[in-house]
Structure 1
């Protein structure tokens, strides 16, 4: 892997409009209402908090999050509804793209997106396999949790070597899933390097950016290796959890991360 490089430009993040807004609730709203808040709402608000703190510290700061919103082709009226809803909630969206589903990956690549977030596991999978760092949006029911951006990295993916990742077949993971984890590790480094540079701009206390390592299947040694690897990438995790096979949902319910960089590991099998 290449040496870490200092990033001086914006850190581009992309998400889809059906994650930012809850389209299932449209039937209960009127034409004059803003679109209902979706699962990505608290994530975007937390991203804005990080940006605000960075600018407060340095008015000329250039390493800031920039958000791209991608929507499917729709009527001009609904396009205006999306833009107006973004303004209504005070969301800072840098660009809007209205495109066909098959144009999603090309849109992400052409904008040099450093992180694509989605509730759609297939979309996350496709992004990872085309060289785009991607993460799964975690459910944040409380829209008032805005003070910190919380990111979880998979200790299993990072801590296992490429060879030992193959041993996950013993836990029932398929060859396709294991290949996804291998691709995810490469993509995780790209994002971890950037987020590490951003995290170091804050002190140890009262940072608006919190990073965690969650090891679901691996041993304490795997967790320790993951922490060491992240440090080598320039990121010191704020918290670490080693579950050794225990269900991860109770931890997620307590930590309440906004996104999971796990390659799907924490969601398979569903019994977890």
Structure 2
């Protein structure tokens, strides 16, 4: 397959999302930075076990093996480790044959500030504060929640997205939260031909589709996408027309009308699902790997009336 000119899909991943660093993190929590550093150096030749994002990263990098020319996917490692203590991470990367060459080791400070500098489309981390900072700076980001499940679709990579506050802005969700379902439904009917504004994951989805187009002639394309939303008719029309206006195609669209998403995500076989509502993520993580997107009204603190 020939290589089409275009931007790379660039994913930033924290070391704790890529590998299971639970044991060493416990040392840090109990004994502090010096003990943690000593532990990592003493164990730098011990291979780390895969973390929550490992298999997604593995599938992403495998896409480069299916295309000719320059790599179209790059994964950047961002870590709070120092370069010295991070040697164990790179030794493990080499052990698993992951083609990751760029990294930022931040010596205990948050690495989110390098996400934009590397030109990343997505940042995956287990640190909610780092994720929130990345979102605040206009980068698609999610906090990975531990899950013991894996997709069984071989090398095919399946992403699933919630709609409002993830792919789209939270403008409609605000109406629902503040005024109820009837007001939401009426507004969506009235604005059915008015495209929604983009949410934090719009640009990532657009970059992902650009990559999908390079596999357009494959009988079984290696990337598949799904919209999994609590919306139902008649609120579905605005979503469909919005994606059409953006010239973005989704392979599958599930309008569940408030039904629990978990079993549908399992049936779809998502490698990772992104949602803004923590309760939805808690439900989904029992079926698929899940990333919480702390964005929009569902993640704002609203004080109770006094």
Normalising by structure 1, report the TM-score: 0.76
**Residue 145 (structure 1) shift:** 5.4
Partner in structure 2 of residue 115 of structure 1: 122
What is the CA deviation profile of residues 87-133 of structure 1, one whole-angstrom value per residue up to 9, with x for unaligned ones? 10011213121115644221112112111123444433322121111
Alpha carbons 1:159, 1:222 under 8 Å: kept: no
The Cα RMSD (Å) is 3.3
Q: 1:230 to 1:70 in 2, by over 3 A?
A: same
Structure 1 ranges of 4+ moved more than 6 A = 158-161
Partner in structure 2 of residue 179 of structure 1: none
1:199 and 2:202 correspond: no
Partner in structure 2 of residue 88 of structure 1: 95
1:265 and 2:274 correspond: no
What is the CA deviation profile of residues 135-166 of structure 1, one whole-angstrom value per residue up to 9, with x for unaligned ones? 35463633875411111122234787754221
Using CA pairs below 8 Å that are at least 6 residues apart, which structure has the higher relative contact order? 1
Q: 1:37 to 1:127 in 2, by over 3 A?
A: same
Alignment of 1:62-77 (within 5 A): 64-74=72-82, 76=84
| CA distance in 2 between partners of 1:107 and 1:75 (Å) | 15
Partner in structure 2 of residue 98 of structure 1: 105
| CA distance in 1 between partners of 2:17 and 2:219 (Å) | 31
Partner in structure 1 of residue 176 of structure 2: 168
Q: Which of 148, 153, 175 is the equivalent residue of 2:161?
A: 153
Alignment size in residue pairs:
247
Please say which of residues 219-228 and 12-21 is displaced more in the overlay.
Answer: 219-228
Q: Which of 39, 47, 63 is the equivalent residue of 1:50?
A: 63
Normalising by structure 2, report the TM-score: 0.69
**Equivalent residue of 2:234, what SS?**
helix
What is the CA deviation profile of residues 177-209 of structure 1, one whole-angstrom value per residue up to 9, with x for unaligned ones? xxxxxxx94322211221121112223730110
| CA distance in 2 between partners of 1:160 and 1:79 (Å) | 37
Partner in structure 1 of residue 297 of structure 2: none
Q: 1:106 to 1:220 in 2, by over 3 A?
A: same
| CA distance in 2 between partners of 1:61 and 1:75 (Å) | 28
**Equivalent residue of 2:10, what SS?**
strand
| CA distance in 2 between partners of 1:106 and 1:148 (Å) | 31
**Residue 35 (structure 1) shift:** 0.6
Alpha carbons 2:169, 2:200 under 8 Å: kept: no
Q: 1:160 to 1:106 in 2, by over 3 A?
A: closer
| CA distance in 1 between partners of 2:167 and 2:92 (Å) | 41
1:60 and 2:58 correspond: no
**Equivalent residue of 2:199, what SS?**
helix
**Equivalent residue of 1:14, what SS?**
strand
**Equivalent residue of 2:132, what SS?**
helix
Partner in structure 2 of residue 9 of structure 1: 7
Unaligned runs of 5+ in 2: 27-41, 181-196, 285-306
1:212 and 2:226 correspond: yes
| CA distance in 2 between partners of 1:7 and 1:115 (Å) | 21
Alpha carbons 2:14, 2:79 under 8 Å: kept: yes
| CA distance in 2 between partners of 1:137 and 1:25 (Å) | 18
> Looking at CA atoms only, which structure, 1 or 2, has the larger radius of gyration?
2
Alpha carbons 2:14, 2:78 under 8 Å: kept: yes
